[in-house]
Amino acid sequence: MRCSGCGKDIPFAGQVCPYCQRDKSSDQAAHGCIGVALFIGGGLGYAVGGFTGLLTGGFIFGIIAAIASMPQAKKKAKTPPKVVVANLPKTAPKPVEKADSNPTPEERLMRLDTLRANGIINQQEYDEQRKAIISSL
């Protein structure tokens, strides 16, 4: 089967042309119509003229179906979406610094003050933790 968008030979199966990403459902319908016309033309030709009529009728009906269906297939085919590539920044972004897993004693004391001010710990817990931090110095 040929794609009506790019004109390349493509497999019948699938929804879009692998080359131009164009919808190929109308191309598939056109090829199916041509196949049916070949069958009908061959049958009529065989009834009229035997084996030679089969070949002639199939050929003539196939050509007529191809001429009739291809312009419609080309018109109905959806154009693929335009692909826009985002421009990358010229410099790499700065790496995000991870929080230090071992905070300094000053940071631990500030966090302890914040916990007490927010009411998460009481004064007794605050005093115990403060002593532990100061004794670790």
Q: For residue 45, which phi and psi values (nearest 5 degrees)?
A: -65, -40
Dist CA 76 CA 72 (whole Å): 6
Q: Considering the chain, what is the average pLDDT of its residues? A: 80
Read off φ and ψ for residue 49, nearest 5 degrees.
-130, 20
Burial 11-41 (b: 16+ CB within 10 A, else e): eeeeebbeebbbbbebbbebbebbeebbeeb
pLDDT digits (tens, 9 = 90+) for 70-115: 766 566 656 666 777 777 777 877 777 776 677 888 888 999 999 9
Q: What is the pTM of this model?
A: 0.41
- Sequence-distant (≥ 6) Cβ neighbours of residue 46 within 8 angstroms: 53, 54, 57
pLDDT at position 78 is 60
pLDDT in tens, 11-23: 777 777 777 777 7
Closest by Cα among 87, 31, 100 to 62: 31
Six-digit token string for 40: 């009908």
Residue position matching structure tokens 């061959």 = 42
Alpha carbons within 13 angstroms on the beta-carbon side of residue 14 total 13
